[in-house]
Every structure is written in C-alpha cells, then in structure tokens.
Amino acid sequence: MELLNWRLAAFTRVFSPRRRACLIGLGVLSLCLSCGPEPRQGAVEEEVLAEGQRVEAVLRPAPRAAIELELEAAGLLAVEDVLPDVLVDLKYASTDNFFGQNVYGELQHCYLQPEVMAKLERSYAALQERRPDLTFLVFDGVRPQSVQQVLWDALDKPDSIKPLYVADPKKGGLHNYGAAVDLTLADRETGVGLDMGTPFDFFGYEAYPDREEEMLAAGKLREEQVANRRLLREVMRAGGFSAIGSEWWHFNAYSREEAAKRYALIP
C-alpha cells in the first residue's frame, strides 16, 4: 500500500491534469476492450493503435514550424514550454476570430519575450495563491507585423478609432514586440473559460473595462462577470502587467516606448 501511495503521488506530481486525464482515459479504454466481446481478427489491434496514436499526439509537443524556430532563435519563449499547465488557444491561428480566418499560418505556439514570460509566471503564481482551481487560457502573444496589417485592413471601423482595437502596423504595437498577451481565466480541470461578459475580440462597450460600471447599471453585464475580470486584472498586475480601457483580455508588459528600447519589431 505504501508503494502504491508513492506511485500515485508521483503520477500526480509529474503529469498535469490534462495529461493525467489522457493517460487515465487510455487505461479505461484498454480495460473496456479487454473485457468486451471477442472482436474480429485484427480489430482490437487497429483500435488500440488508433487510440494510442491519438493520445501520443496529445502528449507529444507539436513540431515547430520555420517561423517558430526563427522566433526561438531570436530569444522568444513559448508559453507551452515554460508554463505547461497554462492553456493556449491561439485565436489567430484558427478561424475562431473576428474575421473568421487563420492569419497566423504555421505559427501555432504562443511566444513572448523572456522578461514578459517571467511576468506571466509571476501572475500565474499569484493566481494559484488565490484560486488554485483556475489557470490561464492564453489567446495571443507575439504577432508579426505582417499579420498586424491584415487585422488593421479587416477591421470594419473608421481609421480614427481603429487604434482602440488594433495597433497601426506602420508604428507597431506591443504584440508586435512580443510584449503583450491576451488571455482569460479558465477552470483548471475542464479548460472552460470563465464568464467575462463578452467573448475575445468583442468590439463593443461591454468589453471595455472603463465602461464596466455603466454596463452594470444598464444590465448589460452582471456582477459575477465583472468580478471575474477584476480577478484577472489583479493577478496580472501582481506580475507587472497593465490593463487597457477597451479590452478586458489585453495586458501590456511595458509601454510602447519602453518595448521599442528593449526589442525589435517582429516582421
């Protein structure tokens, strides 16, 4: 029994909740297959192999694309490598964004400058102190300038107010330096994001931290949603980030002037 307890403790310590779930799921599948009716010749081997390949794909880090190797050569770090218990859903590498297309191409991992990553580690530690049942769900990190131009052109807003939502690609923004991060809070076990009142990339006053009291009074936000946002802002500030007035999910590690002194724009 003592040996069993030690092995269980080691299993819990070594593997993250997501990886534990994958491994437990594979074990249950294998048990069900072994107890079920006798399959036709070769069927079990095919099913087990297929399932094994699926779980292995979850556990094995995806190979890095050329653009990612370039970012790593420039010194940037992948969130998935430094904080494996933080979830990443890179929105612009999918169709789940405000204009419905993948604009990141082969960029599938979320990268930040090392000093920015250190701040995110401190913010994550602050979150764990207060809510160990939660983790971060990261939507975006470094953003090449070429992608910034696509976002700028696709945003259906007058040029005079576009900078409220997307940095002018001619000047570059903090995402283009790898000095900003977009994220939310999520349940550690399920991976489901907390209710923040709006989705990521919602272009309306409901998404504005500066308008939260007004939106509460108008019944467009609930107190629970604003409380979730406040928690996110508090733990991010604990790590050294600052919030902005128009996007509850966006946090800056430095001012634009400071970032320009420290880093080069990512083309």
Q: Which residues are catalytic?
A: 247
CA 267, CA 247: separation in Å to the nearest integer? 24
CA 79 to chain centre: 8
- Tokens 């724009």 correspond to 265
CA 55, CA 23: separation in Å to the nearest integer? 8
Whether 109 and 158 have beta carbons less than 8 Å apart is answered as: no
CA distances from 257 to 11, 145, 233, 266 (A): 46, 17, 22, 16
Strands (E), 13-146: 77-78, 87-88, 111-112, 134-140
Tell whether 168 is in a known binding site.
no
Helix/strand/coil for 111: strand
Tell whether 175 is in a known binding site.
yes
- Tokens 């990141």 correspond to 104
Q: Which residues pair with 87 in a beta bridge?
A: 137
CA 33, CA 44: separation in Å to the nearest integer? 7
- From the list 169, 174, 164, the residue with the least C-alpha distance to 150 is 169
Annotated binding-site ranges: 175, 182, 250
Annotated binding-site ranges for Zn(2+): 175, 182, 250
